[in-house]
Copies of this chain bind each other. A is one copy, B any other.
Amino acid sequence: MTSPSGISRGREGPVIDIGNLPGHSVELGRDTPLVLDCGTPLGPFTVAYQTYGELNAEKSNAVLVCHALTGDQFVAEPHPVTSKEGWWEEMVGLGKPLDTERYFIICANVLSGCMGTTGPRSENPETGKPYGLDFPVITIRDMVNAQKLLIDHLGIGKLFCVIGGSMGGMQVLQWAASYPEHVFSAVPIAASGRHSAQNIAFHEIGRQAIMADPNWNGGDYYSRDTYPHSGLAVARMVAHITYLSESALQRKFGRRLQDRSEVAYGFDADFRVESYLRHQGITFVERFDANSYLYITRAMDYFDLTEEHSNVLARAFPETPVRFCVISFTSDWLFPTSESRALVHALNAVAANVSFVEIEADGGHDSFLLDVPELHATLTGFLNGAAEHRGIA
């Protein structure tokens, strides 16, 4: 079924067979539930994760990759739903900066996600039905605390590196703030110490679009034969614009038309940029849960490392032993360089070991996912230096 706008409006949500996902999953918090920031104890809960490479005998070569808002644990292999290549194959693999011959790479689906880790689509043990909006609102710190339990479960005392872009970078910062003795090095890319007003505003648009879709039904759509396709597609479309730079949009699409030589004087997708955005919306709803989108955006909005430190970011990292590599991109207007600079100033203020690179790239916020040679070179250099200090062969 196709709506007048061209957005597919199927009746069912994404079909993800959680039981048959590749990779690993572990039940955590059975004996001692994880007490979330909102005060709710959660447990037992499942964390689905994937690993690449081998943990060395010293358990010193583990790298935790933290995924972004719509990412998942399938970093360096085809996505089990879309069959597209892993979201960070640019960076993770044989001979890549995160070389799977040298490092043991771990990536876990975040708490409240929809790829195997417990989230709003999971069964609420109290009712035997999916949580929906009864799932507790989680924070970036909750996500990181769940990851810490996973790392404990794997018997890893200290991560060689925690790395991630965007929301992944927020988790990196939270790791460094919460568990400085368990992190040797940290690489927050295109991130920020707290979510800005503009970014909260864009997230709120996405949530409003989802919640305005009658098929959302107050978050209770799992047992129905409807799904808030249209609302989630609009949410994805607006987010997607913010991931690209104006110049990249101009270069990739400009005002070029889609399969026509002149405008059609109508509301069909005349322009390629429209067609591209619609495609982004349609394909996203096939792989993502609308309620997870609400929860994860909310976690990002709530992220503010300064909050409990009288608005002084530096106080989140007192006497930190962590080696930082902070990276931003010139064309990223969602997490602009000024955010990374504020972070570097804070780390300088506590005399942290921090290097900072603003990389010239016109791909916008999404540059961290793209083939950007300077990003490769920066990461390779930093990781090599850190590995040497850590004594990794």
User: A residues within 8 Å of B by Cβ?
Assistant: 3-5, 7, 37-38, 133, 136-137, 194-198, 200-202, 204-205, 207-209, 211-214, 216, 218, 230-231, 233-234, 237-238, 241, 244, 246, 249-250, 252-255, 263, 265-267, 269-271, 273-274, 277-278, 281, 294, 298, 301-302, 304, 333, 336
Contact = CB atoms under 8 A, between A and B. Distances in A.
A208 B237 contact: yes
A231 B241 CA distance: 19
Given A204-B237, A274-B204, A266 B198 contact: no
CB-CB nearest 8 A-B residue pairs: A212-B230, A5-B211, A38-B265, A137-B265, A197-B249, A204-B274, A198-B246, A197-B253
Given A212-B213, A265-B136, A267-B211, A200 B255 contact: yes
Contact of A234 (B195, B205, B244, B254): B205
Query: Chain copies in the assembly?
Result: 2
A359 to B, nearest CB: 20
A249 B5 contact: no
Contact of A204 (B277, B298, B304): B277
Contacts of A208: 5, 7, 230, 233-234, 237, 278, 281
A223 to B, nearest CB: 17
Contacts of A7: 208, 212
Majority SS at the chain A contact face: helix
With most chain B CB atoms within 10 A of its CB, the pick from A204, A214, A238, A336 is: A204
Contacts of A216: 4
Contacts of A230: 208, 212
A286 to B, nearest CB: 17
Contacts of A254: 197
B212 A214 contact: no
Given A204-B273, A249-B201, A265-B136, A255 B209 contact: no
Contacts of A137: 265-267
A302 B267 CA distance: 11
Contacts of A37: 265
Contacts of A253: 197
A197 B266 CA distance: 18
A301 B237 contact: no
Given A197-B253, A197-B255, A267 B202 contact: no
Contacts of A241: 198, 201-202, 205
Contact of A211 (B4, B214, B336): B4
A4 B219 CA distance: 10
12 contacts: A3-B212, A196-B250, A200-B273, A201-B249, A201-B274, A202-B238, A208-B233, A212-B231, A238-B238, A267-B298, A270-B301, A333-B333
A304 B197 contact: no
A266 B195 CA distance: 17
Contacts of A237: 204-205, 208
Contact of A195 (B38, B255, B269, B304): B255
Given A137-B266, A197-B246, A202-B238, 7 more contacts: A4-B216, A136-B265, A198-B250, A200-B255, A204-B271, A205-B277, A208-B237
A7 B137 CA distance: 21
Contacts of A304: 255
A84 to B, nearest CB: 22
B214 A233 contact: no
Nearest to A203: B274
A194 B3 CA distance: 30
A139 B230 CA distance: 28
Contacts of A202: 238, 241
A17 to B, nearest CB: 28
